Structure 1
Amino acid sequence: MVSKRVRSSRPSPHRSRQTAGCLCLGVLLASASAAQTPVVESDVRPVHDPVLIQEDGEWHVFSTGIGKEGQGLLAERVSSDLAQWRTGTPPFASLPEWATQAVPGARNLWAPDISFVNGRYRLYYSVSTFGSNRSAIGLATSTTLDPAKRGYGWRDEGLVLASRPGDDYNAIDPAFIADRDGRHWLAFGSFWSGLKLVELDRRTGKPLDPSRRPLALASRPVPAGAPSAIEAPYLFERGGWYYLVASYDYCCKGVSSTYYTVIGRSKAITGPYRGKDGSSMLEGGGTVLLRADLEEKGRFRGPGHAGHHRGRDGVDRLVYHAYDRDNKGAPTLRVAALRWSADGWPAIAGVGEKP
């Protein structure tokens, strides 16, 4: 059995049409004007690189650890209604010993991913330092997300995969998916040569063949010496298609962030992923899904690091962060419902609009 989740700011090594009327955490947009935006205050900032999952009647968001007391490694928030959020129980009290050895200088954990697989929750996470691809992805598991339930407790499963200087990829931003044939995969990647995919052993959640080079999912060709501003892959399946969500351009600059979210789809999980116009995500293409409004109007800047979650109500939701101009550029938790066109392309649903 597999249940899929959706992901001061994360110190990303590299790390926008904002759609009015989305279901948002911290803000419920009534119109495109920030002056008309009613604010619902709860524990929605600082949140960076969020992922979403539901257990029983509670929603759980895990995100990059950002110095909040008790939440400095990976953070957790809990809600019963997707609007009011409270601080949850962080999964780590200290960095795993293997992580400090694999990535000297690492101080916190980034960009988690959460799924329910074979009776346990799988929490993948990133270990790195700013501007380096000396990075690693780790795994922890638990039978429940509720600290009050029997069996709660995160078991360290250790290293999943790593990258080193000289590799053409960066082993951060993991995202798990089980395909329609029951095979397990992990997408990952940030800058360097782009987004990658490895097949996993269904029992261990680690690479099925560690000697095999990762497959290429997406990249943004740039002039020699320039960074390839792409990261945060997320894969999900709907209606016979696999969809790849990715973040383009730069996060982590507060209201100056240029992050935006792009989507493509493919009949095969390995790609190629193309936008609605046929453009290949291996060549920097795709269809814009989420982007900030005009500079003079957009309260929430740089929306990105998005993930998908399909709830028990059948609604597809996008979870992401954006930088709040009205709160000193703080990275803020956001959730939006998706509506689908007749030809199978998603867009952000407005308030009162049927997903």
Structure 2
Amino acid sequence: MRVRRAVTAVVAAAFLAFLPNAAQAAESYPDPLPLTGQQIIHDPTVLRLKSGQYVAYSTGGAIGARLSKDLRNWTDAGNAFAEPPTWWYEYNDTGDPWAPDISYRAGRYWLYYAVSSWGTNHSAIGVATSRSGLPGTWTDHGKVLTSETTDTWNAIDPAVIQADGRLWMSFGSYWTGIRMVELDRDTGKAATQAPVHHLATRPDAPYAVEGPYIVKHGRFYYLFASYDQCCSGVNSTYKIRVGRSTSVTGPYADSQGKPLLEGGGDLVLAGHGRFVGTGGESVFKDRGRDVLAYHYYDAEDEGTPKLGLNRLSWTRSGWPKVF
């Protein structure tokens, strides 16, 4: 009997090694890397700059900024902008931007962000550039894409990816989910008459999926997104799911073949212990390794939103897993 149990355990372990995330949902999630310093953040986008230091931009202020030399200890670095561009006030009374995305191409850093008000899709995505990527050095270039209350999508939560020599931006929150549009490589803004592709949604209103981020690994593009409820402290139910496609414009499906346009998506990370409502994610490279950045609400600190970082590994079947 002991031999049979031992053999069964070995076979089960070997079998699980080949299973994608959906089949491993019952496993416990790893805690984020231990951090020190200024950890308060929301919707983080993180990048290792050419200078070697790390920068994290986030929702809050005129795009809140954090800096780190080692990815572990973070300091408050003010805001990306000293003053909000005047056009932001067309979309809310406080000139408050949301959910930035930082990337590097063509010798410059590019910072995309959204401006809107809670509960409306009268929204806009803007873009700024900088030679250093540091707070206080950004030049704003205005609107990239807008949405109005007559649209069935919401122009917030941008994330940019280059694919096959072309530039694309995924975006979206509720309002039938995640979308994508091609960008002009020179201006960084929506290409003229570019169609808006549909990548992911939920089967029922309010279509609670938002904050897309796409990365390429091997021959697949992976669409990460935040599902369920954000921004309610310890009552948040945010979680991160993923699907993949051989084309950046989709169709995306999870490991069981369920399309993300039909509510599919493998669970990558959910709340556990003190780390509640994990979401608002992005992915960045750190010396060749993939790192998942997100915020969580700290149940041991009155639900304060904090920075979460986890390394990403990839299973033999090609699905991401946090560790």
Same structural fold, with TM-score higher than 0.5 when normalized by the shorter chain: yes
Give the structure with the higher percent strand.
2
Q: How far off is 1:93 after superposition? A: 2.1
Q: State the match for 1:116 in structure 2.
A: 104
Comparing both chains, which one has the higher relative contact order based on Cα–Cα distances under 8 Å and sequence gaps of 6 or more? 1
Unaligned 5+ runs, structure 1: 1-15, 29-39, 66-71, 350-355
Residue 23 of structure 2 is aligned to residue 43 of structure 1: no
The 8 Å contact of residues 254 and 331 in structure 1, kept in 2 or not, is answered as: yes
Counterpart of 2:47, as a letter, is I
- Aligned equivalents of 1:347 and 1:155: distance in 2? 37
The 8 Å contact of residues 80 and 134 in structure 2, kept in 1 or not, is answered as: no
Change (3 A) 1:22 1:301: closer
Residue 218 of structure 2 is aligned to residue 218 of structure 1: no
Q: How far off is 1:167 after superposition? A: 0.5
Q: State the match for 1:265 in structure 2.
A: 244
The CA RMSD measured in Å over matched residues stands at 1.6
Q: Please state whether the residue corresponding to 1:85 is helix, strand or coil.
A: strand
Q: State the match for 1:348 in structure 2.
A: 322
Give the structure with the higher percent helix.
2
Q: State the match for 1:197 in structure 2.
A: 180
Counterpart of 1:217, as a letter, is L
Q: State the match for 2:189 in structure 1.
A: 206
The 8 Å contact of residues 251 and 259 in structure 2, kept in 1 or not, is answered as: yes
- Aligned equivalents of 1:195 and 1:112: distance in 2? 16
Moved more, 137-146 or 329-338: 137-146
Q: How far off is 1:99 after superposition? A: 2.0
Q: How far off is 1:80 after superposition? A: 1.3
Total equivalences in the alignment: 298
Q: Which runs of 4+ in 1 moved over 3 A?
A: 16-23
- Aligned equivalents of 1:128 and 1:122: distance in 2? 20
| Post-superposition CA distance 1:148-205 (Å, at most 9, x none) | xxxx7211111111011110011000000001x1100000000001100000111110
Q: State the match for 2:278 in structure 1.
A: 303
Q: How far off is 1:144 after superposition? A: 0.5
- Aligned equivalents of 2:222 and 2:112: distance in 1? 20
| Identical residues among aligned pairs (%) | 44
The TM-score, its normalising length taken from structure 1, stands at: 0.81
- Aligned equivalents of 1:134 and 1:18: distance in 2? 40
The TM-score, its normalising length taken from structure 2, stands at: 0.89
Give 2:118's match in structure 1, choosing from 114, 130, 134: 130
1:171-182 correspondence to structure 2 within 5 Å: 171-179=155-163, 181-182=164-165
Q: How far off is 1:117 after superposition? A: 1.3
Change (3 A) 1:104 1:307: closer
Unaligned 5+ runs, structure 2: 1-24
Q: How far off is 1:107 after superposition? A: 3.3
| Post-superposition CA distance 1:49-74 (Å, at most 9, x none) | 00110012211100001xxxxxx221
Change (3 A) 1:23 1:104: closer
Q: How far off is 1:79 after superposition? A: 0.7
